[in-house]
Structure 1
Amino acid sequence: MSASLEPDGALRTAAAGRLPGIGRSLGRAGRAVARTRAARTAGIAGLVTAVVIGTAAERRLARIRSERVGASNEEPVAPVGGHPTTVIASDGVPLHVEIVDDSSAPLTLVFVHGFCVSLDCWTFQRRDLADCGRLVFYDQRTHGASGPSELEGCTIEQLGDDLYRVLTEVVPTGPVVLIGHSMGGMTILALADAHPGLFGDRVAGVALLSTSAGSLATVTFGLPATATVALRACLPGLAVGMRYAPSLLERGRSHGSDIAWVLTRRIGFGSTSVGPPVVAFLEKMVAATPLRVIAAFLPALIAHDKLVAAAVLVATPTLILVGDADVMTPVEHSRTLADALPEADLVVIPGAGHTVVMERPDEVNAALRTLVQRATTHQPQSRNPVVPAPRDHGPDDISVWKP
């Protein structure tokens, strides 16, 4: 008779030889003890793991709160602070505009901001580029200090028409450089689609920063494939919920300040070294955008497709700029634009995220100065309506700014 290798095996073997009933009972008891020991060991291991994870999470939360407190103690980021005026859109929506410098400047730079922020996202460009000409900033409809819009007005095409109104009212003459970030770049493409005759003559230069000509439905937001699929599946229902039950979701949103801080830094920037005041400034702009506005524009952003319109810019000096850590409009989207515009300068900033205009303003401003120089020395030519054959923009085929 062979003995069991369990700790009580010798005792069970001897007893089983004399009294089978006792042997079976002892066997069951031995297995129960073994299970109890295993459960106790697993429980202790689980408890230790939970304590370690909980401690790490607590430390991370403490660090986040420390950064947020630090943001309030440091010098805050200043808003643009230009001379305010109002432009009325074609459907009656008032658009808030701020102008820096007088109308006598030979060149005007018009800045068009992106989704969920306001014209104040350009504060570092307003600070450093005032010597380039007259600067015009405006809040897109339903954003910042601009007025609300009906749902049917929350389209990229309408945003392009709003930009046309701003140009007509505020910059009626003289050369213009259009600078768009994210949804602002899409707005410029919508303007090109509707008013191609403006480009190469009135519009002397274009900057498309962290933007896309389409295919935003394929963006992964930097998440694993399974999480991205789940997120896309939830978006339609989320959009409906934000549109028809905003008060409930807004209340939940207001209590998630630590989460909002983490998401703002993760989605907005490519590095955790961004100063806390900058993160707080972006978080404040995003939080000021009502959920119903986010819900209203989501379908328009997902359906956006203006790659054909990009061909209008073929004769216009163009800058395409993106950070290679952008999870909202990844670098591939800028490369697609660059393929359609082989004469454009493609600038990829290593380590920068989506809000590159705030994260890496020195590099962005240097690239914009180069664009302004190109725009002021460029001789307009008759535009060829045929899209030129695309060329491959590899990682080493990039026009880089020179400070």
Structure 2
Amino acid sequence: MIAESTSGGRLNRRKIGLVSTIVGVAAAGVAVGVAAERLLLGRSRRSTDSDPYKDEPFGALGADETRTVTTTNGLDLHVEIDGDPDAPLTVVLVHGFCLDIGTFHFQRKLLRTIPGVRIVAYDQPGHGRSGRLTAGEYSIQQLGRDLRTVIDETAPTGPVVLVGHSMGGMVIMALAEQYPELFGVGERVAGVALIATSAGELSGVTFGLPKVLAKVRTPLLPVITNAGRLTAGVWDRARQAHTDLAWMLTKRYGFGSTKTSPALVSYVEHMNAATPTDVVARYVRTIDAHNRFPALTSFEDSPTLVVVGDEDLLTPVEHAEAICRVLPLAELVIVPNAGHVVMLEHHEAVDAVLGPFVRNLVPGGTRT
């Protein structure tokens, strides 16, 4: 037993050493990139004179109603509702990893202008103002059940449209996997909009990194997950201390445009930073293991919109195209010069297709 324990300890030390090497190499590359970008951008992060969103009330939209919904595993979810309780159509917004309700800032403003629409938005477990686990890991399967609970509690009758960004789209797929009876002609889910998401095979995504670094991440996930939980306080303090680096990384991995609103980048970085490290660690494995191509067949008879930015490094265009190969009747929209938070970065382009998509699904409404 002693020999086995010693061997295991050596193996773990080697794994952790490898993680440290990888992080060191990646950090060196990031440091060079940050230094170069600082030279190019100068004081752009703080210069807001020409920023179109310098006065945008991010995070302060308010809601007609705020509610708490308790999940089947006992977590309290923060829910915001807008619109007439008797509206014939409910749109449920499901945000992505390390973000919150604010992800759909511009889409909520749009949907408020569409007659006959009621809006439900909620913070996923561990995000925003929702409760978080104190033990164990999150699972997308459970998040699918959470979405079912939100629908049952906030829109018990009438058709709903589900709009999911990134992990939110995966959660919608998990809902379809467990409750296929909700989908189809005349069923509860009248339509689905999937924004910057994937049905699986995320282990092949390089995130713009050299392939040698991208390939080794899956075998090391247990080490990274455990280390992230154990050293969460240290990492949280480090993230707060290096705000310039966090801002640059947010711009790099969230946006595709060379000229991006500093206020917009800062808002997304704020959402990222507000997600505790232990929450991030408890989500990593379930996201990497996500594979729900079979569940997509539940959408075959439902109007489906698929949107992706052509510069998305996290869920690239190929993943949107893979979804549409399973759903040939889905509408695919590729937004130029857009990254992973396409619905914020180029909200005009996203709203231009999401607006008509929702309007066409309002019972008794005018089709466009």
Q: Shorter-chain TM-score: which interval? A: 0.7 to 0.9
Alignment partners' CA distance in 1, 2:74 and 2:178: 19
Give the C-alpha shift of residue 256 in structure 1.
Answer: 1.2
Say if 2:191 is the partner of 1:198. Answer: no
Say if 2:247 is the partner of 1:261. Answer: yes
Give the C-alpha shift of residue 377 in structure 1.
Answer: 7.0
Alignment match of 2:62 (pick from 77, 81, 86):
81
Name the CA shift for 1:273/1:98 in 2 (closer, same or farther; >3 Å): same
Alignment match of 1:323 (pick from 298, 305, 309):
309
1:186 alignment partner in structure 2: 170
What TM-score do you get using the length of structure 1 for normalisation? Answer: 0.76
Q: Secondary structure at the match of 1:81?
A: coil
Q: Secondary structure at the match of 1:375?
A: coil
2:102 alignment partner in structure 1: 120
Alignment partners' CA distance in 2, 1:211 and 1:352: 14
Task: Identify the range of structure 1 (178-187 vs 147-156) with the bigger mean alpha-carbon deviation.
Answer: 147-156
1:228 alignment partner in structure 2: 214
User: What are the equivalent positions in structure 2 for 1:2-401 lying under 5 Å apart?
Assistant: 60-61=37-38, 66-70=43-47, 74-79=54-59, 80-82=61-63, 83-132=65-114, 133-152=117-136, 154-200=138-184, 201-229=187-215, 231-232=217-218, 235-376=221-362
Matched to 1:78, the amino acid is F
| Identity percentage of aligned residues | 42
Matched to 1:75, the amino acid is D
**Structure 1 residues without counterparts, runs of 5 or longer:** 1-53, 379-402
Name the CA shift for 1:60/1:317 in 2 (closer, same or farther; >3 Å): closer
Matched to 1:68, the amino acid is R
Name the CA shift for 1:110/1:55 in 2 (closer, same or farther; >3 Å): closer
Matched to 2:197, the amino acid is T
Give the C-alpha shift of residue 91 in structure 1.
Answer: 1.2
- Structure with the higher fraction of residues in helix conformation: 1
Matched to 1:123, the amino acid is H
What TM-score do you get using the length of structure 2 for normalisation? Answer: 0.83
Alignment partners' CA distance in 1, 2:84 and 2:102: 19
**Structure 2 residues without counterparts, runs of 5 or longer:** 1-30
- 1:234-273 Cα offsets, whole Å, 9 max, x none, are 5443322211111112222211111101100000011131
Name the CA shift for 1:222/1:294 in 2 (closer, same or farther; >3 Å): same
Asked if 1 retains the 8 angstrom alpha-carbon contact of 2:137 and 2:282, the reply is no
Query: Which protein has greater RCO, CA pairs closer than 8 Å, 6+ apart?
Result: 2
Matched to 1:105, the amino acid is A
Structure whose alpha-carbon radius of gyration is higher: 1
Alignment partners' CA distance in 2, 1:139 and 1:168: 16
